[in-house]
Amino acid sequence: MSTKPQVLVIDDDAVVGRSFDRVLSDKGYEVSTVLSGEEALKDMENNEYDVVFTDIKMPGMDGIEVAERIKARCPWTPVVVITGYGTTENEAKASVLGVSGFVRKPLTPDMIESVTLKALEVPAVTAEPANEVLEPAKPQVSELKGWKKAGRIVKNILMFFAAPFIALSYVIALPIVGFYTFAKLAVEAWQKKRATS
């Protein structure tokens, strides 16, 4: 069994999937690519991924719907939205769903690597130093799988409790931001009109 981090890339442009594969495979990741949201959801019935990248604009199911379905099924799985069509509305919708971030096209190898690392970041656990120097036991593959699964369950539980608060903060913040933007534009228009008259 592979202990490499598993990455799924969903994009109807095969070149994007190949770019992720080329960059991340050299860095020790196992990359799978699919061309549609439907194909991705089918694939995820049999496979677990450590991070999922989805294009926002695809035929059929778009990236927001794909992210929503993945987060409903596996809330602990980080989802990053790839976009060449960044709009505030789409980013707000995706943020409410709990996506881990956005990456804008055109993609560079550095962008791909850094956004993957950021999505996979987990808080470091520090242990108290022991007085005796012991030879560390090498964990078996099955033990690693067990810890990985336990970590995902903990993430799932935390996301379950945090999601309503995250959504509420966006529900509260969006009208305030919208009102501020509207007021700012109104003041600028008034000042411009006053300056010309």
Give the residue, 141 or 78, on which the prediction is more confident: 78
Whether residue 130 has pLDDT greater than 50? no
For 36-94, what is each residue's pLDDT tens digit? 989 999 999 888 899 999 888 888 888 888 888 888 888 888 888 888 765 667 666 66
Q: What is the pLDDT of residue 90?
A: 65
pTM, entire model:
0.58
Residue 96: give the domain boundaries. Answer: 1-121
Alpha carbon separation from 9 to 36, 51, 59 (Å, rounded):
10, 9, 15
Amino acid sitting at position 91: E
Residue 147 belongs to a domain: no
pLDDT of residue 38: 92
Supply the pLDDT for residue 32.
92
Question: Is 131 within the bounds of a domain?
Answer: no
22 vs 62, residue with greater confidence: 22
* Inside any domain, residue 128: no
Check residue 127 and give its pLDDT: 30
The reply to whether 25 falls in a domain is yes
Domain count within the chain: 1
37: number of Cβ within 10 Å = 24
CATH number at residue 31: 3.40.50.2300
